[in-house]
Amino acid sequence: MKILLMIVAVQFLNLVIFAWLRRLTWVQILALRQQLAVYKRRSKRPFLKNRDRLFWSLLSRLWRDWRSALIIVKPETVIRWRDRKFREFWRGKSQGRSGRPAIANEHIDFIRRISSDHPEYGEDRIALELEVKFGIHHACSTVRKYMVKRRVGPRDSQAWRSFLKNQAKAIWCCDFFVQHTVGFRVLYVFLIMELASRKVILTHVTDHPTLEWTKQQIRNVCFEEQPKFLLHDNDGKFGQFGRPLQVENAGKRVSCRSAYDEWLWQEMGIRGIPIPYGAPNAAAHIERLIGTLRWECLDRVWIWNEGHLRSVLNEFIVWYNHGRVHQGLNGIPNPDPALSEPRPLAGRLVAFPVLNGLHHDYRLVA
């Protein structure tokens, strides 16, 4: 009995001592935290070594409430240390084998040659050039990795884009733009483009455009085929009416906003569609063609006279229709028949100059 009481007394004493020591431990922790708080408030942040960062990185993995004891730095800093070590570990494990596999050196040379010759070309256009002409298939992101520069283009509204997509084969677009010569003479360029194929049907130059002159251009290009719709802007050269007029032809009545639309409907059976006022993006395709002519041709050439302008435009349009890739079309408007022939297995890249090297028509030759 005495032995049992002695054992109980010893156990009770142990509990008292453990409780007291635990109480002293919490008091000590509280004192240390208060001192750290004062140190943080009155001193600069101390210099931390790698072992300190490793300690807190491991502790954050093992202890759920590690944030409550952290004073010297913010918890976000510890998380950043941990993530950085994680990346460094796996980077060392990969030993430089990360990323996508490299493409053939010959393809890299093609991409660098085209992008260095024409920094304004985007990755989509270069990838399409390689696919259509060389039979080389690479993702745009892969082309972007090896090219020099890149750019992007505009967008349309959904409703108008749906109409143009559904009726593209029956729509032609026309527009004027102005070009100045070296002697400050003003010349007007008239363009007609087929919307479905992006093919330029007509390019004509005059110094005095009139309504009759514009009508004659439509007559000239409509001998073999003609469109169902002709899209144009609200230029005064088309003879704008003050208000729309109802015009009847073959039992159908349409609303016409210009004398040009009235003539098209009555004489040619073509429905003229003027774009909304103040909305040039409604004719984005022809505007893009004009922008292409300026950015890739006319802004880089001195135009001396009307004959010189005709010659420059004719050479550029031949390349535009038969050799230039078009991102919106995902191909060439009217490809050169030579592009449909079998490609040489071990061909070399040859650049045929366009406008004395202003552009190049890239081909593979044996």
Residue type for position 251:
G
Q: Where are the beta strands (DSSP E) in 182-304?
A: 186-194, 200-206, 229-232, 240-249, 252-258, 271-274
Given this model, what pLDDT does residue 280 score? Answer: 78
The pLDDT of residue 17 is 58
Pair (271, 305) in one structural domain:
yes
> What pLDDT does 20 receive?
55
Q: What percentage of the chain has pLDDT greater than the value 90?
A: 19
Give the closest residue to 232 by CA, choosing from 269, 209, 198, 257. 257
Same domain for 120 and 53? no
User: Do 187 and 306 touch, CB atoms closer than 8 A?
Assistant: yes
Longest CA–CA span in the chain (Å) reads 131
Q: Which run of H or of E encompasses 352?
A: strand 348-354
Do 163 and 300 fall into the same domain?
Answer: yes
Report yes or no on 177 lying in a domain.
yes
Q: Using one digit for the tens of pLDDT, what is the confidence trace for 308-325?
A: 999 999 999 999 999 888
State the average pLDDT for the chain: 81
Residues 272 and 302 both lie in one domain: yes
For residues 348 and 286, membership in a common domain is answered with no
Residue 19 lies in a domain: no
Q: What is the pLDDT of residue 166?
A: 84
Query: How many domains does the chain contain in total?
Result: 3
Please check whether residue 5 lies inside any domain of the structure: no
Residue type, 123: E
Place of tokens 């144009």: 232
pLDDT (tens digit per residue) in 137-149 = 888 888 888 887 5
Do 168 and 235 belong together in one domain?
A: yes
Higher-confidence residue of 141 and 94: namely 141
Q: Do the domain assignments include residue 184?
A: yes
pLDDT confidence band for 185 (50 / 70 / 90): very high
Using CA atoms, how far apart are residues 153 and 225, in angstroms rounded to an integer? Answer: 32
Same domain, 125 and 272: no
pLDDT at position 145 is 85
Q: Does residue 17 form part of some domain?
A: no
Task: Kindly give the residue spans of alpha helices, DSSP state H, lying in the chain.
Answer: 2-42, 50-62, 66-69, 75-94, 105-117, 123-129, 140-146, 158-166, 211-221, 259-263, 284-296, 306-322
Q: What does the pLDDT average to over 218-224?
A: 87
Burial class of residue 137 in the structure, from the number of CB atoms within 10 Å of its CB (0-12 exposed, 13-18 middle, 19+ buried):
exposed
Measured from the Cβ of residue 105, the count of other Cβ atoms closer than 10 Å reads: 8
Are 177 and 290 found together in one domain?
Answer: yes
Give burial (CB, 10 Å; 0-12/13-18/19+) of 365: exposed
> What Å distances lie between residue 295 and 222, 232, 287, CA to CA?
30, 22, 12
Per-residue pLDDT tens for 1-43?
556 566 656 665 665 555 555 555 665 665 566 556 666 655 5
Given the structure tokens 């998380």, which residue do they identify?
79
Q: Contact 269/150 with Cβ under 8 angstroms?
A: no
Residues 126 and 237 in one domain: no
- 21 lies in a domain? no
190-206: average pLDDT = 92
Which CATH number goes with the domain that contains 210?
3.30.420.10
| Residue pLDDT, tens place only, 233-272 | 888 888 888 778 888 877 788 888 888 888 888 888 888 8
Torsion from C-alpha of 63, 68, 69, 72, nearest 10 degrees: 120
Strand partners, 179: 187
Answer yes or no: do 253 and 162 share one domain: yes
> 135 is in which domain, residue-wise?
105-151+342-365
Inside any domain, residue 360: yes
| Predicted pLDDT at 48 | 74
Q: What is the percent of the chain where pLDDT is above 70? A: 82
Residue 183 and residue 60 share a domain: no
Instruction: Examine the domain organization and report whether 255 and 230 are in the same domain.
Output: yes
Q: Are strands 271-274 and 229-232 parallel, antiparallel or unpaired?
A: parallel
Mean pLDDT score, 148-174: 71
pLDDT score, position 172: 92
Residues 6+ apart with CB under 8 A from 259: 211, 238, 239, 240, 241
What residues contact 255, with CB distance under 8 A and at least 6 apart?
Answer: 244, 245, 246, 247
Does residue 98 belong to any structural domain of this protein?
no
- Note the pLDDT of residue 258: 86
* 72 or 214, greater pLDDT: 214
* pLDDT tens-digit readout, 53-88: 887 787 787 777 777 777 777 888 888 888 888 888
| pLDDT for 179 | 94
